[in-house]
Amino acid sequence: MTSIRPSQVKRRSQLARRHIELGAEFEHCSNLIVVKDYGSQTEVDQAKKLGLADLSTLPRIGFKGTGAPDWAAYHGVTLPQQPNTSAVQKDDSLVAKLSHQELLILSDLGVTSTQIERLEDSPIAAQTYALPRADSHCWLAVTGNQAAEMFSKICAVDLRAHKFANGEVAQTSVARANSIVIRHDLGSTPCFYVLTDASATEFLWDCLLDAMAEYTGAPVGVSALRTLS
Amino acid sequence: MKLLTCPLNGPRNIAEFTYGGEYHPMPDPNITDTRAWAEHVFFHDNAAGVVTEWWCHTASSFWFLAERNTISDEVIRTFEASELFNQRIDFVATNSKEGKL
Amino acid sequence: MKPRLPAPYGSLIDRDMPVNFNFERRSYQGFAGDSIASALAANEQWLLSRSFKYHRPRGALTMAGQDANTMVQLPSNPNALADRELISDNLDVMGQNYSGSLTKDRGALLGFFSRFLPVGFYYKAFFKPRGMWEKWAPFIRKKAGLGIINQQLEPEYYDKQYKFFDVVVVGGGPAGMQAALSAGVEGCEVLLVDENPTLGGSLNYTRFDTEAVRGRKLRAQLIEKIEANSNITCMTDAVCNAWFADNWLPIIRHKRLYKVRAKQTILCTGALEQQAVFHNNDLPGVMMSSAAQRLMHLYAVRPGHAGVIVTGNNDGYANALDLFDAGVEIRAIVDLREQPCESPMIDAAVARGIRIEAGHAVYSAHKSGNHLSAVEIRKITSPGVCADSGEVIPCDLLCMAVGYTPTYQLVCQAGGQLSYDDESAMFTLGNCPEAMQIAGSVNSHWDLDACLAEASRAAVIATNALGLTNADVPPQIARESLSPNHPWPIFAHSAGKEFVDYDEDLTIADIINATRDGYEHIQLVKRYSTCGMGPSQGRHSALAAARLVAAATNRTVAQTGVTTARPPFAPEHLGHSAGRSFYPARRSNMHYRHLEAGAQMLQAGAWYRPAFYGRPDNSLKCINDEVNNVRNNVGLVDVSTLGGIEVRGPDAAEFLNRFYTFGFVKQPVGKARYALLTNEGGVVIDDGVACRFSHEHYYVTATTGGVDRVYQSMLKWNAQWRLDIDIANVTSAYCGVNIAGPKAREVLAKLCTDVDLSNESFPYMGVREGTVAGIEARLIRVGFVGELGYEIHVPQHSGEALWDAIMDAGQQQGIKPFGIEAQRVLRLEKGHIIIGQDTDAMSNPMEVQMGWAVSRQKPFFVGGRTIRELEKKPQLRSLVGFIVHDSRAPIPKESHLVLDGAQMTGRVTSCNYSPTLQKPIGLAYVVPDSAQAGSSIIIKSTGGVPVTAEVVNLPFYDPDTLRQEL
């Protein structure tokens, strides 16, 4: 039993209490705290089938404005071609293009990527504006072969593998909450990142677990996700 | 449920959108007479036929315009607002010219 | 249980699995797969329920779940269709709509009074005098009700699921199966949906050839191919209940509603057999010929011992052969046609020695107990008219085979047009919208090969449209010249009771009388007579009613038409529409700290907010204590729900100048300014403060409920103005608290060392960026509650840590959390209005004493022109503060009226007991004459008690604003 508790740092997921109730083991990752696992030996298998993970404490940021894409490219960001697609970066972080003028940048699962920090520290250009995506949105991951089928109960966009390719982005409504859905497979396991208004995190978590019950989906920690990727 | 094609996000259920009312150009508030201003603010054409409407894709907060036939409910096309608004609009105070009813 | 017919009869039942259930408290046995109606029929129990109006005995009519005759009561489900609902062990089934017992219903006496219950009876009888209806309604409702709702029912879990297909085929009969197959082999994703337990449709029970082999063989072949095709998904036991725009199909299966989007739809919904209209045509034992065939082939139940068939086509002969082969004694085939055409089916009937009476009709049915005992057949002398006498033939089964109506509902919902062809005496469909095809008997094809060819053709059109094929579309197949529909299977009887609409107990005379009462349009006939308004929605009455109305009004049936077929196709549970609830409830990061502190939470919009801290039965004291602690000490309130919008860029000030009423161009950096928002109509719709953190950076707050609309509106305006700015809604990115009270600075100073908090350096309405308890923070000195106060906004995920740090730091100063109830009292004492509570859809800035927040120096702002016009007109009302001095008077509440004599002149918008003034205070709209301080107004308070209040200047508390500028 580790003694790491979410309350040891200032930055806490809205779901910290849910994780504790589920018997989560937490880990320090960089200077933040994330759920390592829920004590199950079969979490990797669970994640392959249908898993739900909370990545809300991991770094992410947004940039918006007519100058944002060029500025980001200048600072080494590989830009996705089209709006509503994403591109994996050299340091394993992920950049999603939400419109011609808006980027969303997500850390890798091990928080080894440096891009977010580098951009935060770079002098910002004209017509470029940072967005506090790390706080405005929660960040959940739904993994597994049954993920798309489960999503069809709460999301009107067809997320099946042959209709929603790896790297695609959908800005839509998930369980009536405005969300950004990004398909970002972990190895051969389908994975969808869901970013939703942070204040609705617990609502969304409960909805997802309810929708997953039919397929015996369950929460998984970040360590299972890392294994898959 | 009707489909509406967002210029940014593609075809989506119309439940994902917020209706923004008919598009009609705003008369210059500083020179328009009272009657015409009241018409602009309070009256809508509600025309039977092809009208231009504002729509917003709620999840991405993206505003665009749609041409829709109000008789058949057919959406003829959707397009970005920049097609109609391609330069900065400025207002100049011209109170003296304000129309009288 | 009587012995059933041997296999292969009974394709739906499993003879190895007996099931025991109860009907009317008697126990019965059936087999797994039996419907309630089939299992009861197997036990010779034909009577299922009583009719809606006259309480007539009713039994199975279609055996396909298409009529209201079989509606029974299940413990948790009224109006269940006995021919659709399956039996299960120990299921308790009761008949419906009777007084006394199902077999001896006292309500059936109503039938004797039927001539006193003419069509439009309720309108006529209870319309006058006024108030009459209220008196009769409970009695009539009790008599007229169908099943009983179980009000002790626990909610059940219903949900919904989206599905996406290239092609959806509705109807799993021969045409539907062929269409699905033809589309599936071209590689598209196909859904084949059917409401029955198995695919096959008419192939399951119809005799297509004299040897009765073709149907079964074809069904097996098609199913084998469908099962082998992985592109085809089959959904049986599932009703496609409507067609909505862009091929959006709600499909109900068990407790789930599938919201299916199809690129192409092929409707193969088949046809519904129609009844003959004659005296007592509703007796149990009288049924559609297809119902008899379903009983035999699907459930292995013999529909009777001695049968008569009334027919107007050759299907009646096929039916007779089926009955004959199943051991039913055929007493006669009564053919309405003078000259039946040649057909192998007729030859086969003749060969079996079956008596055929051509040019005859069944004129009436006789009963014994609650069942058919004989029919009287008579020679037809002219259409609809019979000879004066005839022959009575004893029988316990009468099968009706006089024609069909296409199952047109979904097609018509999609915009397809129904017309009537006088030649074939049949409704036909046309004008289907793009992306929809129809095939099979719904398209009036009766020959099996024609149905299959039409289905393949529909699939080619669909796959071509999808771009999967580029094939030549085969020519359309002409409809057969031989129609199965008899033009007039309607025979009026001197004693009436020839039912046109079984659901509503409507007879020939009822329909004709509706037209005589002046309701000639078919839509008016429906509303006046209720024809087609029952649970089966005109499936079996539309055709006969159209024919009768046409004849009575000297029009053609085509001119008469049918009533609009609206969704849903079949009755659905409210649970299907409701699904599971998705209400994105929002919580601040400090939510659990409120709960731990004993907060009573309430929902403000989607947000959970603490109302007050303490026990509900002690609310007033809790709220007053919280107020006093803020006034005398220091309090902390969670304001995370407050909207926050970043406006950044070179034109940020110019944008706010146009969007809000105030002037912002000259606002200094480091200062906040009140921001009032009006719409183009000059109505106040939101407010907040605009904090200028740098020349090009404003952080604007908005109301909790208004921020989403404000944000959208900002984006819409700037989509037109194209100012050089960015607008971002960061509401959820920040958690916020307001630390307020004379000791606020003392507490904050312990946690914030990088900002000079002194009044000189950081005055009222100042804004600063710094760190609080090590957390990056935005600090705003505001005075909403009227005391020295700081709003502290920090990144959302650090909200709880901030809360903890401030509560710890303030312990010594006696810091206590306060909720929104106390906040409301505090702001009222300070005379601050709440947009939406103290304003309504007409409030302009002048009315709410906000004229000071409107700039007259700007070339433009939203609502500006309208406000200028409003200012030219006399003001109609004013929002004023009032105090109630009489301590015994009942405290006025929101929306209580302000009266001038009997005249309503205004209303209260806010009112609370003020712990500070120790008197009730409030805000109210009054006429300008009463708006002066010192005026007296009368408020009609709780219980209608008039309460006198004094109009006073705002604010009630600290008019010189010394306290918030400490």
Mean pLDDT value across residues C295-306: 98
pLDDT band at C101; cut points 50, 70, 90: confident
DSSP 3-state of C356: strand
Q: Which fold has domain C1-153?
A: Ubiquitin-like (UB roll) (3.10.20)
Mean pLDDT value across residues C293-322: 97
Evaluate whether C859 touches B92 at the Cβ level (below 8 Å): yes
pLDDT band at B45; cut points 50, 70, 90: confident
End-of-domain residue from the set A112, A133, A154: A133
pLDDT attached to residue C558: 87
Mean pLDDT value across residues C729-743: 97
pLDDT in tens, C617-670: 999 999 999 999 999 999 999 999 999 999 999 999 999 999 999 999 999 999
Q: Which residue has the higher pLDDT, C827 or C118?
A: C827
Q: How many CB atoms lie within 10 A of CB C931?
A: 19
Closest among C644, C578, C641, C645 to C605, alpha carbons compared? C641
Check whether B100 has a pLDDT greater than 60. no
Size of interface B-C (CB pairs under 8 A): 67
Q: Which residue has the higher pLDDT, C114 or C446?
A: C446
What is the average pLDDT value for chain C, to the nearest integer? 94
Q: First and final CA of chain B: distance in angstroms?
A: 46
pLDDT in tens, A23-49: 999 999 888 999 999 999 999 999 999
Taking CA–CA distances from C263, the nearest residue in chain B reads: B3
Q: How far is A4 from chain C (nearest CA, A)?
A: 16
pLDDT attached to residue A29: 87
Same domain assignment for residues A152 and A219: yes
Q: Which residue has the higher pLDDT, C111 or C816?
A: C816
Q: First and final CA of chain A: distance in angstroms?
A: 26
Check whether C52 has a pLDDT greater than 90. no
Same domain assignment for residues A91 and A48: no
Check whether A194 has a pLDDT greater than 70. yes
* Chains adjacent to B (≥3 CB pairs closer than 8 angstroms): A, C
What is the per-residue burial (b if ≥16 Cβ within 10 Å, else e) of C862-877?
bbbbbbbbbeeeeeeb
Mean pLDDT value across residues C800-814: 97
Same domain assignment for residues A53 and A107: no
End-of-domain residue from the set A102, A133, A164: A133
Check whether B77 has a pLDDT greater than 50. yes
* Position A110 in a domain: yes
CATH code for the domain in which residue A31 is found = 3.30.1360.120
Contacts of C282 (CB under 8 A, 6+ apart): C51, C56, C58, C69, C497, C499, C502
- For residue C785, report the phi and psi dihedrals to the nearest 5 degrees: -95, 0
Give yes or no on whether C1-153 and C160-272+406-465 have one common fold: no
* Position A3 in a domain: no
pLDDT band at B97; cut points 50, 70, 90: very low
B79 touches chain C (CB under 8 A): no
Residue among A5, A9, A10 with most chain C CBs within 10 A, to mutate:
A10
The number of domains in chain B is 1
* Position A2 in a domain: no
pLDDT attached to residue B101: 34
CATH code for the domain in which residue B73 is found = 3.30.2270.10
- The pTM of the full predicted model, rounded to 2 decimals, is 0.94
Same domain assignment for residues A221 and A151: yes
CATH code for the domain in which residue A85 is found = 3.30.70
B19 touches chain C (CB under 8 A): no
Of C583, C589, C726, the CB nearest to A129: C726
Contacts of C625 (CB under 8 A, 6+ apart): C816
Same domain assignment for residues A81 and A169: no
* Position A4 in a domain: no
Check whether B98 has a pLDDT greater than 50. no
pLDDT attached to residue C48: 95
Q: Which domain holds residue A125?
A: 60-133
d(CA C379, CA C518): 34
B62 touches chain A (CB under 8 A): yes
Q: Work out the angle between the directed axes of helices C744-751 and C799-809 (0-180°, nearest 10).
A: 120
Look at A178 and B59 and tell me if their CB atoms are within 8 Å: yes
Check whether C197 has a pLDDT greater than 80. yes
Same domain assignment for residues A179 and A224: yes
Check whether A1 has a pLDDT greater than 60. no
The domain ranges of chain C are 1-153, 160-272+406-465, 275-402+485-494, 498-572, 874-966
Q: C860: which chain B residues are within 8 Å (Cβ-Cβ)?
A: 29-30, 91
Same domain assignment for residues A25 and A102: no
B61 touches chain C (CB under 8 A): yes
Q: Where are the alpha helices (DSSP H) in C572-705?
A: 574-578, 591-596, 619-632, 652-659
Same domain assignment for residues A113 and A127: yes
Domain C874-966 has CATH 2.40.30.110: yes
Check whether B64 has a pLDDT greater than 60. yes
Check whether C135 has a pLDDT greater than 90. no
Residue among B60, B63, B86, B88 with most chain A CBs within 10 A, to mutate:
B60
Q: Which fold has domain C275-402+485-494?
A: FAD/NAD(P)-binding domain (3.50.50)
d(CA C275, CA C490): 9
pLDDT in tens, C258-276: 999 999 999 999 999 999 9
Mean pLDDT value across residues A151-159: 98
End-of-domain residue from the set A133, A160, A178: A133
Same domain assignment for residues A28 and A45: yes
Same domain assignment for residues A193 and A209: yes
The number of domains in chain A is 2
pLDDT in tens, C688-702: 999 999 999 999 999
pLDDT attached to residue C121: 65
Same domain assignment for residues A37 and A67: no
Q: Which domain holds residue B26?
A: 3-97
pLDDT band at C107; cut points 50, 70, 90: confident
d(CA A47, CA A190): 9
Same domain assignment for residues A107 and A21: no
- For the domain spanning C160-272+406-465, the CATH number is 3.50.50.60
* CATH class in words for C498-572: mainly alpha
d(CA C862, CA C846): 16
pLDDT attached to residue C274: 97
Which DSSP category does C955 fall into? P
Which DSSP category does C105 fall into? B
